A and B are shown apart, each in its own frame.
Chain A
Amino acid sequence: MIERNEHKPYWRHTRTQMLTSLLPFVVAMIVLPLYADALNDKRVLGVPLGYFLVCHGLAVIAFVTMAAFVNRQDAIDHWHGAHEDF
């Protein structure tokens, strides 16, 4: 059970975690498609790089973002005693 004086630090920590999870992903969502055509001149394993990064890269970034978020937020919950106590 979370202590009364832990509420504010817990929420501050959670908010920071939310921002650090979403900001890099949002930046990638904007930047990668805009530079795709320029990157298509280069190849990775023979595939146009811009296409590869937008098609595969963003899906991988999305999954890594979500996996890291689940892991880190669970650690934050336990650190502040805010985790589920069945």
Chain B
Amino acid sequence: MAFTSRTRLVNPRLGTYFGIFTAAFTALVLMAMMFEQLGGSDAMVRLSMFAVPIGLYAVIGLGSRAREVADYFACGRRVPAFFNGLVLAVTALGGAGFLAFTGSLLIVGFDAMCLSIGWCAGLVFMGVLFAPFVRKFGAYTVPTFLGRRFESRAVRVAAAGILGVPIMLLIAAEARFAGYAAAWMMGQSERLMAAVVVACAAGIVLLGGMRALTWSSVAKAIVAVLSLAVSASIIAILVSNLPLPQLTHGNVVRILARMEIAQGVPVVLAPPLAFDLPGDGPEPLVKRFVQSFGSVGSLSFVLMSFVAAAGIAASPGLLARVGTTPGVYEARKSLGWAVLVAGLVVLTLPAIAVYLRAMLTEQIAGHPGDRLPVWFQLLQQAGIAKIEAKAQIVKLASISFERDASLFALPLAAGFPQVLVYLSLAGALAAALAALASSLMTIAAIVAEDVIHGLPNETTPDAARMTAARIALIGAAFVSVWLAVAVPADPLQLFLWSLTFGAAGPFPVLLLAIWAKRTNAWGALASMAAGLFVTALAMLLAETGAIGLPSALAGAVGLPLALCAGFAASEITPAPGRTALDIVRDMRVPGGETLYDREVRLLRLRTRAPG
């Protein structure tokens, strides 16, 4: 294969470095397992499984210090497609995917798959609709892209404010998920651990910005994927002799369906607009696993898939990552890798839910309540599982399970060494940390680049721009800790609200900016304002019970209205100027210099020129 110029900026030793990291992490797990089997203290095992991986991320992050703006905000545009795709997938899934999605599958089965469809579709939408053009433009943040595209400082500042809403909601959700996983590992309170993990996430990326974020997130993604694969693969081998849970859990689904029918689990049918994903407390297993639309109605299922897809596709944190690839072709390819990795993960998570549900159905349901297996008694003592009724014989519907605990409850239920329980938690923590750090970096970059410096000041010295971003990052970390501690809402609900605001705010305006040349600054402002206000209003009405629409689906109302408002406002106001049309024309063609880099270079030359 020819060593093409596309790869000229890529470090050829990246595979070796991350191979060494993977070997070090595997060695840690094996040594912790040996220590545990030799009778070592559980506290030491917990501490090593929590602190050592975070220490490794910190070494990578602090070692990737950025000295130039392009390094700080775009990782020098030299991240290969595979590594970028890996990080994109794990960041998109985050703690919500690893913890809440698995638990939702366990409790409501098929109905939770609206989220997995949303994740995969979101990455496809991003790859086809936005990523190549955002990469060709090369702006460090989405508001910078919109401000330049529409030649408007007002659009840039408004976009910074409107995009801040989904980012802050995502930060609050991921800080809670990370705090939850860390609290189980360390045996401390969730709030304290949320503060600790936010401090860790911010500290790791503080000096190196996007560069530190990228390379530490590759390490986090490796840990997340490995930890997911281990328990699921071991059980797959025990069940089918093949280490492929994605393909072999189907037989368990069939057996599970038969057991549920034999135990008289009812067929439940929800109204089309019902949306009842499990909350963060213990929830009963009331419906059959493969039966569709028992908790989430058919219309809600389809709408949620699209809202989640639009929210992921226009996620400002994920789109900023597209700018780190060496070129447009690599950006597209990285989304291909992201879809592959996300697809494998969302095929593994149902396997975990199916195995755990089969254990509950086979070993708990239909058995006397006073003679339950030891593993279930342990889960009861830990508050993860409950049996509602004091009936002689336990029914499946009387078992309640804590949603976010199902990922690490499986190795516990299967009787695996305690290290594998901590490994599952370390994986979930790594995914949540990757999403949290990405959101923190995105909001810091937006505050520094779009609010503090703004449109005319691109010639601000590099050091000042990076200092502003670092200060903004510290501020964002403090706000995140406050959000994680003070906001009492369910983290999955916060995550869904983040998606719904993302679907109604950035998605329509990005669509118009790239695919509708006629859209001008007025159209962009109208689109963003309509999307935000209609969604917020629909959400408020939904939460007060005034309308029958679930609040997580408010974006399904906001998105089309935002598109209409954008079109209408652009049609009744003057057409965009020559420069804006030139930007659109150049942005649509992959060849040529990155537009943002070219603009900044010319601006600097102009300010240096005498007179």
**Contacts from A to B (Cβ < 8 Å):** 1-2, 7, 10-11, 14-15, 18, 21-22, 25, 29-30, 33-34, 36-37, 40, 43, 45-48, 50-52, 54-56, 58-60, 62-63, 65-67, 69-70, 73-74, 77, 81-86
A22-B125, A36-B110 known; A62+B339 contact, CB < 8 A? yes
C-alpha spacing A7/B8, complex, angstroms: 28
Secondary structure of the A side of the interface? helix
Q: What are the residues of chain A within 8 A of B116 when measuring CB–CB?
A: 55, 58-59
8 A Cβ contacts from B557-587 to A: 585
Secondary structure of the B side of the interface? helix
A7-B585, A86-B5, A86-B6 known; A69+B128 contact, CB < 8 A? yes
Q: What are the residues of chain A within 8 A of B590 when measuring CB–CB?
A: 77, 82-84
C-alpha spacing A14/B347, complex, angstroms: 31
C-alpha spacing A17/B123, complex, angstroms: 17
Q: Indicate if B124 sits at the interface (CB-CB under 8 A).
A: yes
Q: Indicate if B329 sits at the interface (CB-CB under 8 A).
A: yes
Q: Indicate if B251 sits at the interface (CB-CB under 8 A).
A: yes
B6 touches A66 (CB 8 A): no
B250 touches A52 (CB 8 A): yes
Q: What are the residues of chain A within 8 A of B120 when measuring CB–CB?
A: 58-59, 62
Q: Indicate if B199 sits at the interface (CB-CB under 8 A).
A: no
A2 touches B124 (CB 8 A): no
Q: What are the residues of chain B within 8 A of A30 when measuring CB–CB?
A: 302
**Contacts from B to A (Cβ < 8 Å):** 5-6, 8, 110, 113-114, 116-117, 120-121, 123-125, 127-129, 132, 246, 250-251, 253-254, 257, 290-293, 298, 301-302, 305-306, 309, 327-329, 332-333, 335-336, 339-340, 343-344, 346-347, 350, 515, 585, 588-592
A51-B110, A66-B123, A82-B591 known; A59+B343 contact, CB < 8 A? yes
B124 touches A25 (CB 8 A): yes
A34 touches B129 (CB 8 A): no
What are 21 A-to-B residue pairs whose CB atoms are below 8 Å?
Answer: A2-B589, A2-B591, A18-B129, A21-B128, A22-B124, A29-B306, A29-B309, A33-B114, A33-B292, A47-B253, A48-B254, A48-B290, A54-B110, A58-B120, A62-B123, A62-B343, A66-B127, A66-B339, A77-B590, A84-B6, A85-B591
Q: What are the residues of chain B within 8 A of A59 when measuring CB–CB?
A: 116, 120, 343-344, 346-347
